Amino acid sequence: MKASQRSLLLLEQCFTMTQMKQIQSHLAVSGTLLDPYAAGRIVAFCAVRDFSYAHRFFQHLPHLCRTAFVCNTMIKALVDEKEHESALALYKRMVTDYGFLPNNYTLSFLLTACTQLGDVCSGSIYHCQAIRLGWESYDFVQNGLIHLYVTCNVLESARRIFDASVNRDVVTWTALINGCVKSDQVEVARNLFDEMPDKNAVSWSAMINGYVQAGLFREALELFNAMQTLSGLRPSHAGVVGALTACAFLGALDQGRWIHAYVDRTKMKLDRILGTALIDMYSKCGCVDAARRVFEEMEERDVFAFTSLISCLANHGHSKDAIELFGRMLTEGVAPNEVTFICVLSSCSRMGMVDHGLEIFRSMSKEYGIEPGVQHYGCLVDLLGRAGMLEEAKQVVRGMPMEPDSYVLGALLNGCRVHGDVELGRELVESIIQRKLDHGGVHVLLSNMYASTSQWDDVVKVRKGMEENRVKKVPGCSSIEVNGEVREFVVGDRSVALVEEVVPLLCWIEKHLKSLRLEEEGGAGVAENCFF
């Protein structure tokens, strides 16, 4: 490139659209617009700022100025605008009408289009083109192909290109690492990660998020820490989001707070994704107020941010606030989606707000165009069942447009338990077992239902039946963080620490609470006898 052209390019960065339009008319008058380079610069400049203007300009260009560069730039712009059909049409015109062969730029833009469409068939046609024209080992084409095959779940093809490649760069490696993660081969991904010669912040983030995807949250956090101690790289936005997701699952509050402080310290932009990740981390760690603060700090809130906080409030006993926040969401013009309605309906259910819940359920399809799914019916049945409206709940189950799943029937069964309708409960369990929908939780519910009405023989029967049929309930599990260490508690845990330290403390708390209740009821307090 000539020095004069380079300085013009730099100068171009300072122009506004209006100035560029002025330059354009000036060029038109002086006849310079017929110069392919000048015309190309105008298209490239406008394509990223005002697409429709660039498009019009392109369509009026004289034939001489429709260079491969201009076509590529327009194809890229069309792909960015998600106008994949038009991008393809332009490509065809470029080849047939203007007589250009696709080059490495053309092919990489077309591959991006195929990847976004998940269209591996068209993608492999361009793959063939690339081979025929000798572009297949060009970095952007090669990496584009790997990305395409990874996205479309054809890991073997991605792997073949990788293995045959003699010019792998950091993008090549990272694309394949993601492919392995997507195909549940997180260990293979880690081996690649260890093997790759250079890593940047994107490759670290990809591996951190790979562990998160695989549910290996401790490994994700270890890697997040290693990134800072070993690589000297600063965790990027995506890395931070991945680490926060891991903290949320582990209940690792200290680590999560540290990351929040890091976000503040480095002035990382609290955008919708990062904000939501923070809200969710605080939510899962039980810090409702911190979650609220992050939410208020965010400059833009989308359906994810709202739903995340609504879910947080609903899960921590603030159902009323959750429903209020739903109202605020509507006022601020953010459209709820199916997940939002699950959270809101379960809030209504816990609050016993039957009418309001029914109204919201009805509004789903009427006002928001969202057809209720099986989970929404589950919430509705739960809402009616908890309120003791078992007949209505049964009618909902009968009238639903899809087969009830174990959660819908489980919600009805729970209603039976709470309101002591053992007969209906028994019928239900039979139908649940007949439909082969029984999971451990259903049996436990039935046994609890018998227990609540003191039908101990039946309790024993259910428990025995569970043993005989080898019905397993996923054990209840929770975790807390103490001094930076995450400690897990699982039902049936009989470890020394638990039996010798935690259980006596729990007994003391229970006795203490009972004595307090006695005091409240006017009875004589016995608190002093309850210390160890």
Partner DNA sequence: ATAGGGTTAG
Residues within window 97-126 making contact with DNA, judged by CB under 7 A: 103-105, 108-109, 112, 115
Q: Which two tokens stand for residue 443?
A: 């049996």
Binding region for DNA (CB under 7 A) out of 39-47, 262-270, 325-333, 349-357: 39-47
Q: Transcribe 88-115 into DSSP letters.
A: HHHHHHHHHTS-PPP-HHHHHHHHHHHH
Q: Under the criterion CB under 7 A, does residue 95 sit at the interface with DNA?
A: no
| Beta carbon nearer to DNA, 45 or 450 | 45
CB-neighbour burial class of residue 254 (10 A; exposed 0-12, middle 13-18, buried 19+): middle
Among 15, 53, 140, 368, binds DNA (CB under 7 A): 140
What is the Cα–Cα distance from 371 to 348, expressed in whole angstroms?
A: 19
Among 83, 169, 405, 481, binds DNA (CB under 7 A): 169
Site for DNA in 317-376 (CB under 7 A): 337-340, 342-343, 373, 375
Q: Least Å distance between CB 530 and DNA?
A: 38
477: left (phi over 0), alpha (psi -120 to 50) or beta: beta
Binding region for DNA (CB under 7 A) out of 137-145, 391-399, 442-450, 471-479: 137-145
What is the Cα–Cα distance from 70 to 59, expressed in whole angstroms?
A: 11
What is the Cα–Cα distance from 472 to 492, expressed in whole angstroms?
A: 13
Number of other CB atoms surrounding residue 366 within 10 Å: 9
Among 276, 347, 349, 447, binds DNA (CB under 7 A): 276
Q: Under the criterion CB under 7 A, does residue 203 sit at the interface with DNA?
A: yes
Binding region for DNA (CB under 7 A) out of 183-191, 195-203, 327-335, 383-391: 195-203
Q: Transcribe 435-471 into DSSP letters.
A: TT---HHHHHHHHHHHHHTT-HHHHHHHHHHHHHTT-
Site for DNA in 145-164 (CB under 7 A): 147
Task: Determine contact, residues 169/140, Cβ cutoff 8 Å.
Answer: no
Q: Transcribe 174-192 into DSSP letters.
A: HHHHHHHHHTT-HHHHHHH
Q: Least Å distance between CB 418 and DNA?
A: 21
Q: Under the criterion CB under 7 A, does residue 258 sit at the interface with DNA?
A: no
Element (DSSP H or E) covering residue 490? strand 485-490
Among 242, 385, 410, 415, binds DNA (CB under 7 A): 242
Q: Under the criterion CB under 7 A, does residue 82 sit at the interface with DNA?
A: no
Binding region for DNA (CB under 7 A) out of 3-11, 56-64, 400-408, 499-507: 3-11
| Beta carbon nearer to DNA, 315 or 447 | 315
Q: Least Å distance between CB 468 and DNA?
A: 33
Site for DNA in 288-317 (CB under 7 A): 302-305, 307-308, 311
Site for DNA in 462-521 (CB under 7 A): none
